[in-house]
Structures are given as structure tokens and as C-alpha cells.
Amino acid sequence: MRIPLSLLALSASLLCTPAAMALSEFGIEGMGVVSTKANEAQATIAADGQRIVWASDRPGGKGGWDLWQAVLREGRWQDPAPLALNSANDERDPYFSHDGRWLYFASDRSGGKGGFDLYRAPVTADGTIEAVQALPALNTRDDERAPALRPDGRTLLFSRNGRQTQGGFDLYLAPVQGEGFGTAQVLPAPLNTAAAELGAAWLDNDGALAFTRASDGHSQVLLASCDHRQAAVPLMLSFNTADGQTGAPVVDASKPSEMVLAGMARAPRAGGLDLYRIKAPSAPRGTGCG
């Protein structure tokens, strides 16, 4: 029996809500609003659950990749619009701090130290995003990407490439010191490898991570315990395969039991890279973990 197109459209529209976990494994995030025919990358949700910010190459922004925001109304993401902080270059990797004070991101805008640099912007109580600040203690002539502040606000995780890395991007940690940051330290092997480790989510305050590993045009999300010297294991998700494109996991700060990531599932699908909501994985156990 053929299913009428009207019913298919209705089914797709039901997946526009943040509660699209009705599917057994995953649900697309904001069909037609957040996930569109364009490519959508990393998404982050404010701690109050009222705003989502993500990276997209859709038309209507200032550069190739821009940061976009939608607001929650009647249980659905609505009113997508580019952020005023966008430049003529690329803005990627948005991340709301769990205390709601900051929106972190990466950009190759003019005036940086070289390539992509890390930035943050204060967020007011009413959700207004204020003037952008560079993070000079962490930015270098190399590329810095994917900033992610630990839930307790004490450590910043990010990726850096360059001659000092094992290959491509490696993951680094920098302690928060007042309103600034201390010296960044690279995480050990085998967490960092000859592939590119880029884009990670904190699964707890002990150091367990879900992160992206990319190589030869493919990317996959892996899980690591707080003991970063143990081998990481792939996230169990149908389209998170070694020959696919999955990445940019971010735990929903307003619903810590859920995570949003980018990928290319067979269905539901809106375009190229789409954003999907899944149940957040449990932190792998490791030696010395709390």
C-alpha cells in the first residue's frame, strides 16, 4: 500500500521538535528549520532549552559557514536567523557554556593569529549575544577548533593542528583561570592518533568524552573514558560507521540525557549533513574514574 505524500509530510513535520526521540534510535533535529537541504554541522543548546545555535553553509549568512540561531516556541524550533557576530569568513563549532554565560566558537575571521582561532561572546540573561572576545592565551599560528567547556566550567577542551601534533588535529585541555585560561596540554596517545581528533563532548566532569575522529574524508564518533590512555570505542549508532560521516557531538545542556550530533543517516534526512538527536551515551568506565 502506498503512503500518501501528505502523511509523509506530516511524519516529517513531527520530527521538528526537540523531543524527536520517538524514533527508537534517533530523530532529526528541526526538519526544515535546523536541518535543511544545506549542510548543518555542530549544534549547541542553551541551558534554559530556549535557543539552539548551529553552523550551516545555507544561503543568507555573511560567509561560507555561519552560525545560526532558532528559538523554541510551542515545542518547536522556529525563526532561524544568522547571528550578528558572523563575519565574511567562516564561523564554526558553537558551544554554550552550561552556566549560560558564554557562547564559544571557532572562526578564521580577519584579525586572528592564524587560520582558525577560538572566540567567545557573553550571553545576557535575555539571550542577547554581546561583543566577541578572542582567546589569546590559546590561539596560535596553527588552527584551533571545537572549544567545549567542561560542565563544571573548570577546563576547556579544544583541537589544534600543526607540526607538534601526531597528525592533523589533536585534542588539548586548558584550565580555566579566572576569566582566562592557563597553558594548554595535549592529551596522550592513543586518544590522539595520526588521524584528526576534532570536536568533542564532555560526558561528565571526570573527563569521559565523545569525540570525532576523521581520516580520508570519513569521520566517526568515538567514546573515551576519563583514562585517556585507554583505546576509544565507536558510539553504537547505525550511521556512525568508519566509512561514513558523523561528528560534532554536543550534549544538550538543558537535557543532559540527550545529545545532538551531525551525520548522514539514510532516513530521516533533509539534505547533506543533518543534525540528529540521540540518547547521550553513558561514560565508559576507566581506571581511576570517579
Q: Name the pTM for this structure.
A: 0.90
Sheet holding 51-56, edge to edge: 40-45, 51-56, 66-73, 76-82
- pLDDT tens for residues 223-260? 999 999 889 999 999 999 999 999 999 999 999 999 99
pLDDT band at 121 (very low <50, low <70, confident <90, very high): very high
Are 52 and 44 in contact by the 8 Å Cβ rule? The answer is yes
How many Å apart are CA 58 and CA 148, to the nearest integer? 24
